[in-house]
Amino acid sequence: MTDLKVTLKKSMSGKLKSHQACARGLGIRRMHHSVVVKDTPENRGMINKISYMLQVEEA
């Protein structure tokens, strides 16, 4: 299992509550904040849902 580095590139303000919850579920707190998460189907689903706000790279 690999790790993914996820960075928030767009603000969460004004976005749907479910999209904000996905960002919080990934552990992202603010803009330009990066977290490293495991590459699981659950995390992939959250990343795909808010992909327009994220930058994803392999860690």
Question: Domain spans of the chain?
Answer: 3-58
Coil, helix or strand for 38?
A: strand
Residue 38 token pair: 């495991």
Look up the pTM and report it.
Answer: 0.90
Q: What is the pLDDT of residue 1?
A: 76
Write down the architecture of domain 3-58 according to CATH: 2-Layer Sandwich (3.30)
Arithmetic mean of pLDDT, 2-21: 96
Q: In what side-by-side order are the strands of the sheet with 3-8?
A: 34-38, 3-8, 54-58
Q: What is the residue whose two structure tokens read 């495991």?
A: 38
Residue 25: in which H helix or E strand, if any? helix 17-26
- Burial-class residue 15 by CB neighbours within 10 Å (0-12, 13-18, 19+): middle
pLDDT value of residue 24:
96
- Inter-residue contact 14 to 48 (CB < 8 Å): no
Question: What's the pLDDT score for residue 34?
Answer: 96
For residue 59, pLDDT beyond 90: no
pLDDT of 20 reads 97
